[in-house]
Structure 1
Amino acid sequence: MAKITFITVDGTRYDVTADSASTVMEAAIRNGVPGIEAECGGACACATCHVYVDEAWREATGEPQPMEEDMLDFAYDVRPGSRLSCQIRVTDALDGLVVRVPERQA
């Protein structure tokens, strides 16, 4: 299990616990984190689970794979650290992960 902190645009923090082998998106949906739409259900087909990974966690979460990079073209306000939360697998090494939710989803 890992603790993940989601920070929304207004600064509200949502501290959730995620099961290992789930995804950051699944943790957000299960815990009602606003702003994570996940319209495609985690199939990397919509960019509505876009998050900004905190700089301190970018190495641990890894780089987007080509399919994810392609979908990020459809995300709103892509920045360094932009990821689709459906593509970030939760591991014990991500305990303490901090991500920010964009102002709006695509």
Structure 2
Amino acid sequence: MAKAPKLKDQAHIVTANHLTSGDVVYLTVRNDWSRDIAAAFVAPNAEAAAAWLAEAEAQAARNIVVAPYLVPVDAGTTLPWPIQFRERIRAAGPTTEKAAGGVA
């Protein structure tokens, strides 16, 4: 099992990749996964974030998702918006040629 991350006491969401599709997904308040970041449950602090990450890791053990992890988000926005640039790219959708209408 991975070592628990050191969390800043700020808002976080949980993200992973869906096992069968590979899509970026976010853990919702219903403990299911959505491709829409707006549906992500926002854990308000480090303690809540750690609990949600544990749930996501249990789902990874059941082969629902792959490699869940926490993403710090700006809690002052109407929908959870990642602080890190990499996570903003993941939230905005694929950047591959196939996704943009190119040849696979």
Q: What is the TM-score normalised by the length of structure 1?
A: 0.28
Greater relative CO (CA pairs within 8 A, separation 6+) = 1
Please say which structure displays the higher CA radius of gyration.
2
Q: What is the TM-score normalised by the length of structure 2?
A: 0.29
